Amino acid sequence: MSHSSFKDKVIGWIGFLALIVLAFLVWSVTYAPTLPSQATRSATAVSRVVTPSATQTIESVHVVTWNIGLDKADLHAIARRIASFSGVDLWGLQEVNSRSAPPVLAAAAAEGENATFAAIQGNAGDGLHLVAMYNTNRYTLLDWWELPTINTTGNVRPSLVLHLREKRGDLEFLFMVNHLYRSRDGERHKQARLLNEWVVTQSLPVIAVGDYNFDWDVANGARQHDAGYDLMTAGGRWKWVKPAALTTTQCSGWPCRYNSVLDFVFTAGPAQQWRAESAIVVEPGDFPADNTKSDHRPVQATFWPIEHSLSSNTKGLEQIFPSAATVRGNAVIRTGPGDSFPVIGLVRAGKPVDVVGISQDGAWLQLANNRWIAASMLDGALIGQSSVTAPSTPRPIPTRTPPPRVQSPRNCHPSYPTVCIPPPPPDLDCHNIPHRRFSVVGSDPHRFDGDGDGIGCERD
């Protein structure tokens, strides 16, 4: 083979290989799936690590309070208005005048929500009771009770309190419904002071809603309002979630006699650190009231517990924890160092925190706001940490039992389960028996419950 012939063959093979390479490049660009780069794959892996699990997700909380005035308004008209709301988690209602109303109202709250609502109705009051409704798909009811001290005369509504736990995020808080005195200023002020004293005994976040009758003037409320507002909020123990735009929430007469806010949403404890906003709900034609409508407007509020504040002005923290330390993943915040302590908030992944101490076992870190986070959820090394005394382990939540039923079926009619009243004959009236304000169910053969609200012999 001549030298020129060999050279020609080499050039031919090189050209052939070049064509193959070129064809492969064209195919890879046109048809082959795009493969992630190493950097992209790493970023994807990191994003999976920091994505919160379902048990660490705490969503916003939507609340509505409304004095529905069922002594005058139509139950089904009120139910239709409740059903028109969407996305509400908690309802605080005042002036519910019968035991048959709460199931109707709970069904209305659930309409269109893909959820079930439960209603808790207070036992005491003047025949116009408090009701709290909650989304059972989202919350577990741990306990509920009334505050008898708020019923200062024995003839009005004691505060209704629900202890709730978020099913997905383990957030625990108290939801309170109130309706303070309207006609007696002195008693209303006493109720406000008692609420101020009560809340300092609580460690959980508190959301309190209701008709407080504090008459906050729409135009000049800072100077013109009822003294009960100052008594309740003294020392910053309660904080009003003030609507951005104020308008009257109650209308007596027409035109409305007053131009003030009677219905409020308050927070206390750790809930004061949540981001929150509220609004008075105005609907065309809602005032004046008639025999179908309430003379109050609803007030709605939204809370973001995930925004739990973790910053402080504490100095010298660099010696306790490096400033570069951040939260690894979304982490829950508890009232104490351990899983047995209630969850009161959530801190986002990547957020810096101020740490002022560490539990003796090193598993939990105390934050500058006196709350606790698991040490495993923080990036960064502890420097010069100081052990702190942890709060005592919370006691188990007591189980409240209903009033005992009388166990004497031969002599006690089942329509009166909390007292013993014999069946007729004879036909008894209230003045023939010693009992007052007792529960009435069923047929009520003595007709003690004349207004059908489930309470017998309400007045002397």
Residue range 98-119: mean pLDDT, rounded = 95
Residue range 56-62: mean pLDDT, rounded = 74
Each residue of 337-384: pLDDT tens digit?
988 888 777 777 777 877 878 888 888 888 877 788 888 888 764 544
Lowest-pLDDT choice from 212-221, 241-250, 371-380: 371-380
Q: What gap in Å lies between CA 334 and CA 303, rounded to an integer?
A: 18
Residue 189 clears pLDDT 50, i.e. is over it: yes
pLDDT at residue number 351 = 79
More confidently predicted of 203 and 238: 238
Q: What gap in Å lies between CA 296 and CA 286, rounded to an integer?
A: 9
Q: What gap in Å lies between CA 57 and CA 349, rounded to an integer?
A: 12
**Helix or strand run (H / E) with residue 231:** helix 227-233
Output helix, strand, coil percentages for the chain, rounded to the nearest 5: 25, 25, 50
pLDDT at residue number 6 = 60
Q: What is the mean pLDDT of the chain?
A: 80
Residue range 295-301: mean pLDDT, rounded = 97
- Taken in order of first residue, the domains within the chain and their CATH numbers are 55-306 (3.60.10.10), 317-379 (2.30.30.40), 405-460 (no CATH)
**Residue 154 phi, psi dihedral angles, 5° rounding:** 75, 10
Residue range 135-161: mean pLDDT, rounded = 93
Q: What gap in Å lies between CA 188 and CA 231, rounded to an integer?
A: 10
More confidently predicted of 356 and 407: 356
Residue 114 clears pLDDT 80, i.e. is over it: yes
User: Alpha carbon 248 to chain centroid distance?
Assistant: 25
Sequence-distant (≥ 6) Cβ neighbours of residue 230 within 8 angstroms: none
Residue range 391-395: mean pLDDT, rounded = 53
Count helices and strands (H / E) in the chain: 6, 21
Model confidence at 7, pLDDT cuts 50, 70, 90, reads: low
Residue 184 clears pLDDT 60, i.e. is over it: yes
Model confidence at 59, pLDDT cuts 50, 70, 90, reads: confident
- The percent of residues in the chain predicted with pLDDT above 70, rounded, is 76
SS3 at position 321: coil
- 161, with CB counted inside 10 A (0-12, 13-18, 19+), is buried
Highest mean pLDDT among 113-127, 385-399, 441-455: 113-127
pLDDT at residue number 401 = 43
Q: The tokens 């009520």 sit on which residue?
A: 444
pLDDT at residue number 35 = 34
pLDDT at residue number 389 = 56
Assign residue 433 a region (left: φ > 0; alpha: ψ between -120 and 50; beta: otherwise).
beta
Each residue of 15-43: pLDDT tens digit?
667 667 666 665 554 444 433 333 322 22
Task: Give me the torsion for CA of 96, 99, 103, 106, rounded to 10°.
Answer: 30
Return the sign of the alpha-carbon dihedral for residues 277, 174, 132, 108.
positive
Model confidence at 283, pLDDT cuts 50, 70, 90, reads: very high
Residue range 273-286: mean pLDDT, rounded = 95
Residue range 391-402: mean pLDDT, rounded = 48
Residue range 202-227: mean pLDDT, rounded = 96
pTM above the 0.85 mark?
no
Residue 312 clears pLDDT 70, i.e. is over it: no
Rounded (10°) angle between helices 101-110 and 75-83:
20
pLDDT at residue number 450 = 77
- 168, with CB counted inside 10 A (0-12, 13-18, 19+), is middle
Lowest-pLDDT choice from 70-74, 267-271, 321-325: 321-325
pLDDT at residue number 54 = 34
pLDDT at residue number 278 = 97
pLDDT at residue number 395 = 47
